[in-house]
Amino acid sequence: MPTIGTVIHGTLRPQDLIPAFSDELCRVDPKTYSAILQELDEDYYCAELSPVGIACYAKGYTQGVDLCDGDEWWNTERAADYLSDLLFALNDRAPAGCYFGAHWGDGSDFGYWPSEED
C-alpha cells in the first residue's frame, strides 16, 4: 500500500527516477509493473531493463547490466515515455485524496502527497 511521503528526492535524472519509480510500482502493484515492462519490451527490446536489470542498476550493481549511468538510452524519447508511464501508473495508485508526483514546494521530491484541492 502506498504511503504519503518521499519515494526519491534531490534528482531529476531519468537514470535515478526510473529505477526508483520502477521499484515503487513493483512494490505497490507488481502486475501493472510487469505489464508496463512488457510494453517496453515490445516497443524497444532492452534486456538490461528487465525487473532484475533495473533493480541491479538501482542498487549499484552493474555486472551483467549493459545500461550504465552515462548510456544514451536515458535521454531517449522511449526512456521519457517509460518514465511517464511509471509516473501515471503510480499516480493512479495514490491513496485517496493524494497524488504521486513532485512535491508542490520541491520539484525534486517525488512521492505521494495530499492534493491541495482536498
Query: What confidence tens digit (pLDDT) does each residue in 70-84 have?
Result: 777 788 887 888 899
Of 24, 77, 85, 74, nearest to 49 by C-alpha is 74
Query: What confidence tens digit (pLDDT) does each residue in 36-67 have?
Result: 777 765 544 454 455 555 555 555 544 445 56
| 59 grid coordinates | 542498487
With beta carbons less than 8 A apart as the criterion, state whether 16 and 77 touch: no
Residue 101 has pLDDT above 70, yes or no: yes
Task: Give, rounded to a whole angstrom, the gap between the first and last alpha carbons of the chain.
Answer: 20
The owner of cell 526508483 is 20
| Global pTM value | 0.78
